[in-house]
Amino acid sequence: MLRSLSFLKERSITSCRPFAGTIARKSSEQQTAETAREVKHHENLAGNWWDKKGPMGALHALNEIRVPFIRDGLVTRGNVESRYINTTKVLHGQRILEVGCGAGLLTEQLARLDAHVTGIDLGEELVKTARAHLTDCSAELSSKVQYKMESIEQHTKSHGEHYDAVVVSEVLEHVEDKVALLQDCVRSLKPGGSIFITTMNQTLPMWLGGVVLGEYCLNLAPKGTHHWDKMISPLDVQRILDTMNCQTVLLNGSTYDFWRNTWRWINSTQMCYALQAVKEVPADCN
């Protein structure tokens, strides 16, 4: 799935050797160049980001399942005040960070549920587009949304254990250094908080159906948007999060019906998946 690159880090992943087989290592120079390429690729789409019938159509449609996934995940964990459940302000008081927010498609939808949402992205044009849409089309959300052009590494330095939830949606499949990214995401998360991830699985069906067919035959996304070596299985994501004291509590498979421009949950993670993990609360805090 096409997604913005919001946070990419410019360092190697040699600090996490157990996952070297899954996440290819590159020099810092290579990662910097690859980050710049990814950011530029997505910035070129900024002008059409809010066009539901444009190249972001599938991303718009994904909100139909990912917003409830995040909402219900927070409610189930007891993070939401009971008086707000089943209301339009169900996420009242929740501080959410969206890493790789692009032009704000998901950011605004979470704010509409009364959450305070911070979106970060490295794409200057994407952040400009997000801010412009917020001002011109969603001014009523201005007090609940802020956008920053910075990496997750930079953001976490001043926002450690700050958020009730961190969302990394359609981002991992564009990142070289997944371990470093997730590590900083977890650092910004409060103990007991949730990290929500949606991404593509590294499987042959996903590659053939989602990339070869989707990008090169049906033009559902610009050619060259996705790469096999950047995809990752849910098991590997869980293993990485386990090392960071985050327990996976929910894993759903999903697929995209391009002929209807709709997403649906399925009993398989062979194509795409959504994952929720919860950061451990230190024993002395229980």
DSSP-derived secondary structure for 174-186: G-S-HHHHHHHHH
Token pair belonging to 9: 């880090």
Tell whether 43 is in a known binding site. no
- For residue 242, the Cα-to-chain-centroid distance in whole angstroms is 18
100 is in an annotated binding site: yes
Residue 116 marked in a binding site? no
What pLDDT, on the 0 to 100 scale, is given for residue 18? 39
Pick from 40, 144, 158: nearest CA to 95: 144
Tell me how crowded residue 214 is: count the other CB atoms within 10 A of its CB: 23
Q: Which two tokens stand for residue 140?
A: 């009523």
- The sign of the dihedral angle between the CA atoms of 6, 10, 13, 15 is negative
What is the pLDDT at residue 218?
A: 87
66 is in an annotated binding site: yes
For residue 279, the model assigns a pLDDT of 98
Residues in contact with 93: Cβ distance below 8 Å, sequence separation at least 6, in sequence order: 81, 114, 115, 116
pLDDT tens series, the chain, 286 aa: 444 433 343 333 333 333 433 334 455 666 678 888 888 989 999 999 999 999 899 999 999 999 999 999 999 999 999 999 999 999 999 999 999 999 999 999 999 999 999 999 999 999 999 999 999 999 999 999 999 999 999 999 999 999 999 999 999 999 999 999 999 999 999 999 999 999 999 999 999 998 899 889 988 888 888 889 999 999 999 999 999 999 999 999 999 999 999 999 999 999 999 999 999 998 876 5
Three-state DSSP class for residue 65: helix
Residue 225 has a pLDDT of 84
In one letter, which amino acid is 181? L
Q: What is the β-pairing status of strands 163-169 and 145-148? A: unpaired
Q: Given this model, what pLDDT does residue 226 score?
A: 87
25 marked as part of a ligand binding site: no
pLDDT of residue 30: 65
CA 230 – CA 232 distance, rounded (Å): 6
Cα separation values, 229 from 13, 30, 39, 177, 273, Å: 15, 14, 18, 12, 17
- Residue 174 annotated as binding site: yes
* Cα distances (Å, whole numbers) of residue 58 to 93, 133, 220: 29, 19, 8
Domain ranges of the chain: 23-285
B/e letters for 107-132, b = 16+ CB within 10 Å, e = fewer, are bbbbbbbbbbbbbbbbbebbbebbbe
- The yes or no reply on domain 23-285 and CATH 3.10.180.10 is no
pLDDT at residue 14 in the model: 31
Does the annotation place 102 within a ligand binding site? no
